[in-house]
Amino acid sequence: MVQTKTSYGRCAKVFAAVIFAVVICMGFFDFSKANAASSGFYVSGTSICDANGNAFVMRGVNIAHAWYSDKTEESIRGAADLGANTVRIVLSNGAQYSKTSSSEVQNIINMCKSNNVVCILEVHDATGSDNTYDLDRCVDYWIEMKNVLSGSEKYVIVNIANEWYGSWNGSPWAEGYKSAIQKLRNAGISNMLMVDSAGWGQYPDSIKDYGRSVFNADPDKNTVFSIHMYEYAGGTSSAVKSNIDNALGIGVPVVIGEFGAQHSNGDVDEASIMSYCTQKNVGYLGWSWKGNNSDLSYLDIANSWDGSSLSSWGNTLFNGTNGIKSTSKTCSVYSGSSGSGSSSSGSSGSSGTTTDQYGGVWGLDGTYCIKSVHSGKYLDVYYGKADNGTNIQQHSKNGTDAQKFKLVSDGNGYYTIFTAASGYRSCLDVYNWSRENGANINQWEYHGGDCQKFQFVKIGDAYAIKTKITDCYSCLDVYNWSTADGGNIAQWEYWGGNCQLWYLEPVSESSSSGSSSSGSESSGDSYTSLFWGESSAGAWQQAASVMTSKNGGSFNAADIRSNGYFYVEYSGTQNQVEFILQSWSGGAEWAKVQPSETGTANGHYYAKYSYDNCKAAFGSSDFSGKLDQIHAGAANSGITVYSVCYCYY
């Protein structure tokens, strides 16, 4: 958005014992993890992940520090109090407006951290310019701010230049940004970078046609794109959806960096923007908090700098359907929650997975039920048949071999997905070696071809299951967004919808110990299920209680061993689950065990309790003689427990 203090212008996301030297999925979609992943925000597929490895979806506002510097702190606090998790701050390099000093930038970052909001910093002076000189001056400004930016990667994203390149032409826009990004990285700027589309931010085809080349120019593979949705890019529902879909189609995150309810040359479909962003897990930032001139005062979100009074547009943005209050979640670098990141699978609740440089997860070998994020139904072999060509579909959970799949790594970043229905002789297969959209997924006897190899790319708590036959361009997809039993599973180019994302739920598979037809044997942690289902409890109550076999129960405490751990999966408030070992046979009467690991899995929270922690709390290693009952309950707020297992290596 163009603004002076008195006038606005036009707003036109290695588990191996050895390191494998491999090159995989180097085609159009090379979902690369950013080099900065351990210290700040990074790209994972079409998701933005924070330093804890959790997907982060922006919900926030733009704040015009460059023109109202004395109101910045009050504005940030007001937006945060209303639920914003992100603020985009207008700065100046001195080319058009008063230069924002390094001390000011540091203060702004501190203000954002104090209010638990993510800080996007942008230079506004090159707005609408087609001149690379103006872009270079923005780059020079960021290099000048390097000492301030260093160490801020967890909290700060650098939006290189607001709406640079006003013409509706993607090629020179791309060339300018390729050079800018490389210059920033060569200078040691390691923050996530954000790039506005051409055409005053309103020409998203620049992202669709040239965005991948811009992304690939970043050696850190840590650049995201921004569309400014006003009357051209966001005027109608169809425009909103096609522009977001096209941008996500290059396999990189996109954010709606600016939008309003109306604009100079026409109406804006703000309801569709907020709705479709919510559906697609895309961030959005409303323009702007306060300070627009009289001609554009309808773009003011707040009537007062502290946000105690909102305009009609502000009320829609914060309180409307799919608005900030109902969809915003505080970034986990502030909330303290820990995600799976690159050191844990998260979805399986087991440690030992790593993510390679192309986004594929290693260390998932094991047997799973595979659940659709979209429908909640499970990958299923039609009627549990063992025949070649049997269709793969989705179906409600039934616990049969038709829904058990064994992942076996080839050591090069791909997995074969063997089917229990075939006795693990056959596997998932892209029919007829097809690379086309809509190609059917069936079961076929294992032969080791590329049509039977898949890459698992971590997207939040779930996975996109990419097909090697398409160079990882496409993935397993619930065809036509079906929610029905029997809904077909096909291959479709990846665009990041929930119909293309899957949870992995580990299953006990004692019958799968024989060698697969690949000639290799790999398995995940074996486990015994103590409780499986859904049980809720209020504060200080028990959601799941299991007697040991010495008291007629199902769990044999003699199975507890030094290389094992208990695992609890639950929802509610993180770290509010209590795991208790109870004894009336000489052990601790009511032993609360401290977790050895916590995180997120399958859209829930999980906690692990190691052997050493159990022994310390129980006061004895004689579990078989003294342990009588096991409980998973709530601390001081209610929870729902879905699974209590005992796992061992």
CA atoms within 13 A on the CB side of 395: 18
Catalytic residue among 74, 122, 231, 258: 258
Per-residue burial over 309-333, b if 16 or more Cβ lie within 10 Å, else e, is ebbebbebbbebebbbeebbebbbb
Catalytic residue among 74, 104, 122, 163: 163
Dig out the tokens for 293 from the structure: 């001139």
Q: How many CB atoms lie within 10 A of CB 538?
A: 12
Query: What is the three-state SS of 521-581?
Result: CCCCCEEEEEEEEEEEECCCCEEEEEEEHHHCCCECHHHCCCCEEEEEEEECCCCCEEEEE
* Ramachandran assignment for 557, one of left (phi > 0), alpha (psi -120 to 50 degrees), beta (any other): alpha
* Residue 258 a catalytic site member: yes
SS3 272: helix
Give the C-alpha separation, 646 to 105, whole Å: 50
**Using alpha carbons only, how large is the chain's radius of gyration in Å?**
26
What is the chain's length? 649
For residues 88 and 72, the answer to whether their CB atoms sit within 8 Å is no
Give the C-alpha separation, 102 to 574, whole Å: 38
* Residue 445 a catalytic site member: no
Which residues partner with 226 through β-bridges?
196, 255
Dig out the tokens for 453 from the structure: 């190899």
Give the C-alpha separation, 381 to 58, whole Å: 38
Give start and end residues of each alpha helix (H) in 328-468: 332-335
Give the C-alpha separation, 615 to 139, whole Å: 57
Give the C-alpha separation, 129 to 9, whole Å: 13
Q: What share of the chain is helix, strand, coil (3-state, %, to 5)?
A: 25, 30, 45
State the catalytic residues: 163, 258
